[in-house]
Amino acid sequence: MTHHTRCWLSLFLVAFATLALRSAYSAELPWTDARQLVLVITPDWDASQGTLQAFSKHDGTWKSHAAAVPVTVGRSGAAWGVGLHAATSDGPVKKEGDGRSPAGVFRIGEAFGYPAFVRTALEYKGMTESDYCIDVSGSPLYNQIVDARVVGQPAVQGSTEPMRRDLHVNGDQRYKIGFVIEHNAHGTRDAGSCIFAHLWKQPGEPTSGCTAMEESVMSNLLGWLRADQRPVFVLLPQAEYVRLKGEWQLP
């Protein structure tokens, strides 16, 4: 083998190894199939306000879909949730009733709301007076949206999350339209439940652990999101976003 050939072979092997390493690294991220991403950044772990921006992936690169807009999160800030990302001990951890929004990467689940129909390419379910999200940690239905007519009225006793808040909570419009953020999808006890993106009661008012926004922002998101694009929701404090942006291949 000539020196020239050996050089080319060495270059080829280095390039192949680099490509294989990148492919293996990409395969480790469960959200590499996502083509839509909703990114929420807060100033720090204890902040109850932040910004939201939507991105689409084109030719392997995230491109901004719309300008950043203000949102509110949990009244106590954020904490690591249970999602697609690996568990970490750096920072607070989400617990039931802590008033924190889950941080990390999560699939976007079904859309929901008060109308029978909403313009969206997500799976959509119109809520009824008997629909509840179960936030009772000891329940076998923990972190599930259920219909009391199906599971029985005793099964929803103690839940503080009627999905028709307009009918149960003095005309409350916060769940008029929204979507499920799939935090703690397997219902780990006391890890937090019923995490949604929904409307805010008024600008700047924090939530119990969800992400809230203006109605026009939510309408635009629902009209843009598509289930076949495998959309994900990412929430991170600014310092964590800077630290993880490259590793998590975020925009």
Mind listing the pLDDT tens digit for each residue in 169-189?
999 999 999 999 999 999 999
pLDDT of 22? 43
Asked if the model's pLDDT at residue 17 lies above 90, the reply is no
Average pLDDT, stretch 88-98? 91
pLDDT of 27? 54
Strand partners, 24: none
CA 251 to chain centre: 15
Asked if the model's pLDDT at residue 229 lies above 50, the reply is yes
Write down the mean pLDDT value for the chain: 91
Q: What is the pLDDT of residues 106-143, one digit of tens each?
A: 999 999 999 999 999 999 999 999 999 999 999 999 99
Helix (H) or strand (E) holding 219: helix 215-224
CA dist., res. 173 & res. 191, Å (int): 27
Model-level pTM?
A: 0.89
Confidence of residue 87 (pLDDT cuts 50, 70, 90): confident
Cβ-Cβ contacts under 8 Å for 110 (sequence gap 6 or more): 122, 123, 124, 125, 179, 180
Asked if the model's pLDDT at residue 199 lies above 80, the reply is yes
Confidence of residue 221 (pLDDT cuts 50, 70, 90): very high
Tokens of 20: 């294989």
Domain range annotation of the chain: 1-30, 34-244
Confidence of residue 28 (pLDDT cuts 50, 70, 90): confident
pLDDT of 88? 76
Coil, helix or strand for 100?
strand
CA dist., res. 129 & res. 140, Å (int): 21
Pairing of strands 36-42, 232-237: parallel
Tokens of 42: 């807060």
